């Protein structure tokens, strides 16, 4: 049904003095309030159209009332629905409904009708708008709130608009999100080239120190697949959750990389092969040699050597695809450092550095498994947890700025959102489009814009 809205704008300009910048500046100021007024008109007219169909049963067949006028029977304590679809208009509610929208705060007058069958009074517009009976915000608004938290741009959200939302209001939007129930589709282990996990401390409610933990997968195509984000959850619990998302039940040797976080030694042991971040190699060796009685000065040449030997396989990026032409070179360097490390282990054994030798053995096992995997699959698995470190830094910055003192649920949700938006942008966009329910039931275009005083 085609409707029209007529807009009259009045302006004054000081001829010869008004410049383009000033005109654009004022129009920009007008944009949100103008669209807000248009929205208000559309809603009023929508309300009228609905009321018309419900009251004029002589004109509109029941087919035209499909989906309209749902309400519960009057005085029915069990809340059973009434089948009556004929109603009388009963004026407007005393208080208009306030809804925060992306253009600012909206006040919609809400019409009441009375059911001709049961006598119940209800507001048919609210259910047609699908905003829920107590909703105070619309979804585009929530989308923008969340995007602004992720961009740490809270001020830009509210500045210059009639939007008013407190930090507490933002918290409630984040807590109320269904992000927790979505993005649970299973992941195939054979698609993954690595799994990483790490944790970081966060300040939460009443200065309480919390622990935020995240697990991500790296696919063979080199993409990040967020697997989960948790606050104040034990590693075994996290493991259970992640395992449920991974399809294969049989063991599959995905390299598992972590940053020496306690409690992670056996994490995902039946699916993944654990692999400490190689950055710890030199430090770990120093420690092992210290146990063998070597002073720092004495172990220094050995740790430096290890740094060099494992340095060959540290890619510049966190993960990347290994080019065919580079494979041969990697292979040569891999063979030579493998030989050198083996020799070093032998030397250690001869010198009686028991701890040093066994540490190096374990370390080289892990490192070389990883290189062998690259050579085999062509995908360089992430070597360091810097990807996660960066993620945590990003989350931390937002928690400090906006989410200060948030609850567990909110911290979990926002970190999940950050992960998904940063690393699975397409899934993030799809999620919102689905939530907004854009299905082609409303179209609007500018019919004409004319000036009134072109008399010259
Ligand atoms: Zn009724």
Å from CA of 35 to ligand 1 middle: 35
- Encode 392-426: b = buried (16+ Cβ within 10 Å), e = exposed: bebbbebbeebbeebbbebbbbbbbbbbbbbbbee
Distance 260 CA to ligand 1 centre (A): 65
According to the model, what pLDDT value does residue 314 have? 40
């559309």: which residue's tokens? Answer: 42
Q: Rounded distance, CA 145 to CA 352, Å?
A: 62
> What is d(CA 309, CA 289) in angstroms, rounded to the nearest whole number?
17
Q: Report CA(3)–ligand 1 centroid distance (Å).
A: 29
CA of 121 to the centre of ligand 1 (A): 8
Distance 1 CA to ligand 1 centre (A): 27
Distance 125 CA to ligand 1 centre (A): 16
- What separation in Å is there between the alpha carbon of 114 and the centre of ligand 1? 8
CA dist 198 and 214 (Å) reads 6
Q: How far is the CA of 127 from the centre of ligand 1 (A)?
A: 15
* Distance from residue 122's CA to the centre of ligand 1 (Å): 9
Distance 52 CA to ligand 1 centre (A): 17
Residues 6+ apart with CB under 8 A from 100: 106, 136, 137, 138, 141, 163, 164, 165
Q: In angstroms, what is the span from residue 319 Cα to ligand 1's centroid? A: 62
* Cα of 126 from ligand 1 centre, angstroms: 16
Check residue 260 and give its pLDDT.
54
CA of 6 to the centre of ligand 1 (A): 36
E strand or H helix at 114? strand 111-115
Q: CA angle at residue 309 from 304 to 314, to 5 degrees?
A: 110
pTM metric for this prediction: 0.64
**Ligand 1 centroid from CA 81, angstroms:** 8
pLDDT at 181: 77
Number of CB atoms found within 10 A of residue 237's CB = 11
Q: pLDDT at position 312, please? A: 45
The list of the chain residues with pLDDT below 50 reads: 276, 278-279, 312-319, 381-385
How many alpha carbons lie under 13 Å from residue 32 in its C-beta half-sphere?
16
HSE-CB of 169 using CA atoms within 13 angstroms: 13
């Amino acid at each position: 049904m085609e409707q029209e809205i007529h807009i009259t704008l009045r302006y004054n300009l000081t001829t010869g003095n008004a410049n383009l910048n000033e005109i654009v500046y004022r129009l920009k100021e007008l944009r949100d309030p103008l669209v807000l007024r248009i929205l208000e008109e559309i809603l009023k007219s929508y309300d009228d159209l609905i009321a018309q169909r419900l009251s004029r049963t002589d004109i509109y067949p029941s087919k035209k009332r499909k989906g309209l006028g749902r309400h519960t029977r009057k005085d029915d304590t069990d809340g059973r629905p009434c089948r009556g679809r004929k109603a009388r208009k009963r004026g407007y509610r005393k208080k208009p409904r306030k809804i925060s929208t992306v253009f600012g705060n909206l006040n919609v007058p809400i019409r009441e009708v009375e059911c001709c069958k049961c006598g119940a009074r209800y507001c048919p517009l609210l259910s047609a708008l699908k905003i829920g009976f107590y909703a105070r915000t619309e979804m585009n608004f929530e989308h923008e709130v969340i995007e602004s938290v992720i961009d740490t741009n809270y001020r830009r959200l509210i500045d210059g608009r009639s939007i008013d939302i407190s930090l507490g209001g933002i918290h409630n939007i984040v807590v109320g999100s269904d992000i927790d129930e979505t993005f649970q589709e299973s992941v195939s282990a054979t698609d993954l080239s690595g799994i990483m996990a790490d944790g970081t401390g966060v300040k939460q409610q009443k200065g309480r120190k919390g622990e935020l933990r995240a697990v991500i997968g790296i696919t063979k195509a080199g993409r990040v697949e967020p697997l989960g984000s948790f606050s104040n959850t034990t590693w075994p619990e996290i493991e259970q959750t992640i395992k449920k998302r991974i399809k294969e039940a049989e063991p599959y040797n995905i390299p598992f990389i972590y940053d020496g976080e306690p409690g992670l030694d056996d994490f995902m042991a039946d699916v993944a092969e654990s692999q400490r971040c190689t950055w710890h190699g030199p430090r770990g060796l120093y420690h092992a040699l210290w146990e063998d009685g070597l002073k720092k000065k004495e172990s220094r040449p050995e740790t430096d050597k290890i740094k060099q030997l494992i340095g060959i396989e540290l890619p510049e990026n966190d993960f990347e695809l290994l080019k065919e032409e580079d494979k041969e070179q990697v292979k040569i360097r891999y063979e030579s450092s493998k030989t050198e490390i083996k020799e070093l282990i032998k030397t250690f054994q001869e010198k009686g550095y028991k701890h040093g030798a066994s540490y190096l053995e374990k370390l080289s096992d892990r490192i070389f498994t990883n290189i062998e995997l690259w050579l085999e699959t062509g995908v360089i698995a992430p070597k360091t947890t810097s990807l996660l470190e960066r993620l945590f830094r990003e989350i931390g910055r937002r928690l400090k700025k906006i989410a200060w003192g948030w609850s567990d649920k909110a911290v979990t949700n926002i970190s999940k959102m950050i992960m998904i938006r940063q690393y699975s942008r397409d899934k993030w966009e799809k999620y919102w489009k689905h939530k907004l329910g854009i299905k082609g039931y409303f179209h609007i275009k500018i019919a004409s814009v004319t000036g009134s005083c072109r008399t010259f």
